[in-house]
Amino acid sequence: MDLSVINPILLFAALMSAATPILFAATGELIVERAGVLNLGVEGMMIVGAICGFAIAVETGSPIVGFLAAAAGGALLSLLFAFLTQITLANQVASGLALTLFGLGLSALLGQGYVGIKPPRLPDVNFGFLADIPLIGPIVFSHDPILYVGLILVAAVWATLKFTRAGLILRAVGENHDAAHALGYKVVRIRTLAIMFGGACAGMGGAYISLIRVPQWTEGMTAGVGWIALALVVFASWKPWRVLLGAYLFGGITQLQLNLQGAGVAIPVEYLAMSPYLITIVVLVILSADKSAAPGSLGRTFHASS
């Protein structure tokens, strides 16, 4: 055992990248849930984003266009969910699960011609001398642009929810859709937009896996990240900055266990791997004391006449 081989700076830099897909997906889902909708289809939207982004990046040669396509693909798929739950008032849990099933199949069909291809690389942002600053350089100034987009997204979502009228309306719709409706807000329209935003974010998160972290396309490559994102939103008690913290914690535990293994520490991997979920449950219990944490209308169907 030799713990000195673990470089905490590199570990932190690595976990930032590892956490980015979850961060995107969870931030999107946070908005969806804040609007009072529970979309369990995150995994499906992520994998569709992963293949849309990959395919378009390969075809156009531009990873940035790929990311835009991933966002569009995720949003498009989420429209299906929006139609089911907002227009035809279907149950959200069942619709979300169906969306995941559909998305996994659809992505595999779309991706048939893309196995074994290398996508164009997205170079890291060049910060010049900043990247050479000890400690801060590798952690803050040595990443690809999308990672920074993710961080900006969290800040933007936080600011929007906290300071803007749009954020206020969104929260109102999520807290009590009947009251929001009575005040004249278009509940269905607002929720549909929120769902599409969630889909776009999930799609970006998926593309981050297929274009940057891995980078390749294979069927089922998101391997359950979407479900972790769902857990994360709860862990974060529907607060954007805590999503960031949680994403680093979830991503960090995987990084840490791999690092410890590399250093020769005998650790029970399975038990470490279940710890984020156990921690989430503990956080949930603590939060349940605070009744204001969860959006009041979460998961409930809204119909104007009811």
Partner 1 sequence: MKIKTLLASAAMALGLATSVYADGHEKTKVGFVYVGPVGDGGWTYEHNKGRLAVEEEFGDAVETVFVENVAEGPDSERVMTQMALDGADLIFTTSFGYMDPTINIAKKFPDVKFEHATGYKRADNVSTYSARFYEGRAIQGHIAGSMTKSNIIGYIGSFPIPEVIRGINSAYIHAKKVNPDVQFKIVWAYTWFDPAKEADAAKVLIEQGADVVLQHTDSTAPQAAAQEAGNVITFGQASDMGQYAPLPRVSSIIDDWAPYYIARTRAVMDGTWESKDTWDGIGAGMVGIGEISDAVPADIKEQALAMKTAIADGSYHPFTGPLKKQDGSDWLAEGEVADDGTLAGMNFYVEGLEGDIPQ
Partner 2 sequence: MIRLEKRPQPSRTFAYLTPLLAVLATFFFGGLLFAALGKDPVASILTIFWEPLFGEFSFYYRPQLLIKGAPLVLIAIGLSLGFKAGIWNIGAEGQYIMGALFGAGVGLAFYPAESFLIFPLMVLAGGFGGWLWAMIPAVLKVKFGTNEILVSLMLVYVAEQFLASMSLGLLKNPEGFGFPGSRNLQQYDSAHNAEIIVGSGMHWGVVAALIAVIFAYVLLARHRLGFAVRVTGEAPRAARFAGVNPSRLILFCLGTSGLLAGLAGLFEVSGPAGQISIDFNVGYGFTAIIVAFLGRLHPIGIVLAGLLMALTYIGGDIAQSQLGLPAAAIQVFQGMLLFFLLALDMFTNYRLHFGRTEAA
Max distance between CA atoms of the chain, in angstroms, equals 66
- DSSP classification of residue 84: I
Q: How many Cβ atoms from other residues are within 10 Å of residue 8's Cβ?
A: 10
227 binds partner 2 per the rule CB under 8 A: yes
Look at phi and psi of residue 36 and say left if phi exceeds 0, alpha if psi is from -120 to 50, else beta: left
Compare residues 218 and 301 and give the one whose CB is closer to partner 1. 218
CB-based contact 197:205 (threshold 8 Å) = no
- DSSP classification of residue 239: -
Q: Which two tokens stand for residue 164?
A: 């803007």
- DSSP classification of residue 124: P
271 binds partner 2 per the rule CB under 8 A: yes
Q: Which two tokens stand for residue 175?
A: 């807290």
Residue of 6, 108, 151, 169 that binds partner 2 (CB under 8 A): 108
* Residues found near partner 1 in the complex (CB under 8 A): 5-7, 10-11, 14, 18, 21, 108, 111-112, 115-118, 209, 213-216, 218-223, 225, 254-255, 258-259, 261-264, 266, 268-270, 273
Q: What is the number of H-type helices and E-type strands within the chain?
A: 12, 0
Compare residues 261 and 292 and give the one whose CB is closer to partner 1. 261
Residue of 13, 23, 69, 99 that binds partner 2 (CB under 8 A): 99
The Cα–Cα gap between 85 and 97 comes to 12
Which residue reads 């609007």 in tokens? Answer: 35
Q: Which two tokens stand for residue 250?
A: 């979830």
* Shortest distance, position 228 Cβ to partner 2, whole Å: 8
266 binds partner 2 per the rule CB under 8 A: no
* Shortest distance, position 151 Cβ to partner 1, whole Å: 19
183 binds partner 2 per the rule CB under 8 A: no
In whole angstroms, how far apart are CA 57 and each of 74, 88, 149, 207? 15, 35, 18, 10
* Shortest distance, position 274 Cβ to partner 2, whole Å: 4
* Shortest distance, position 297 Cβ to partner 1, whole Å: 34
* Shortest distance, position 69 Cβ to partner 2, whole Å: 20
Compare residues 93 and 155 and give the one whose CB is closer to partner 2. 93
* Shortest distance, position 218 Cβ to partner 1, whole Å: 5
* Shortest distance, position 257 Cβ to partner 1, whole Å: 9
Applying CB under 8 A, the site for partner 2 has a residue count of 51
The option from partner 2, partner 1, none interacting with 133 (CB < 5 to 8 A, set by class) reads none
- DSSP classification of residue 131: G
292 binds partner 2 per the rule CB under 8 A: no
Q: How far is CA 134 from the centre of its chain?
A: 30
Which residue reads 């890291």 in tokens? Answer: 124
3-state DSSP assignment of residue 190: helix
Query: Could you list the residues that contact partner 2 (CB under 8 A)?
Result: 38, 40, 80, 83-84, 88-91, 93-95, 97-99, 101-109, 112, 219, 227, 230-231, 234, 268, 270-271, 273-274, 277-278, 280-281, 284-285, 287-289, 291, 294, 299, 303-306
